[in-house]
Homo-oligomer: A and B are copies of this chain.
């Protein structure tokens, strides 16, 4: 890892707790509109449509659309599926709820860990979230990114190789000088296939108390840690 100059972070699940954040912000809306779902189930249902929506872009079925747009479409689809007439809801309310993804809280170890890592590395998100989503989140939570990178900048959704390779190229770095940090084995596998270094950070409650995936490293990632502070320890930062 001595050659690594930049750490690129997955965000949803790795940096922030999307499930509790979306649940909390959706509960009032769900009650008001009599949506027959518990807030956490609603968050899970909304999130389940995340990969299929991006897959439509990755496969070329539609041009690149930023995640805020996909989140809004997915919100309407989830509500429709459980019988809610979305055309009867004020569009401003739907727009406001879509911004829940901009207002997620970091896991408790994130800010102290990043403060240390920032002294030694370029730190930036490489998320499928769009620029203003990442920027609003960082400004609200005090996440000290050097800059926002990610899918919207390179116009490619992870785990497409372009997402990793174009980002390394923007930094004028070789893939091996960049380390992907994620709580998801599939993200790291795609990054490794492009030549990036990899750091797995365990987030065993991202999907709630009954989480069954990403509870352990699938491969011998370059670093395995259970917090951003442990990651800083491992990298000597």
Contact = CB atoms under 8 A, between A and B. Distances in A.
Interface of A: 68, 122, 130-132, 134-135, 138-139, 145-149, 152-153, 170-172
A134 B122 CA distance: 13
Given A139-B146, A145-B147, A131 B170 contact: yes
A132 to B, nearest CB: 5
Contacts of A171: 131-132, 135
Contact of A170 (B152, B170, B172): B152
A175 to B, nearest CB: 15
A135 B149 CA distance: 12
A135 B122 contact: yes
Contacts of A135: 122, 146-147, 171
Contacts of A172: 68, 132
Contacts of A153: 131, 153
A131 B122 CA distance: 12
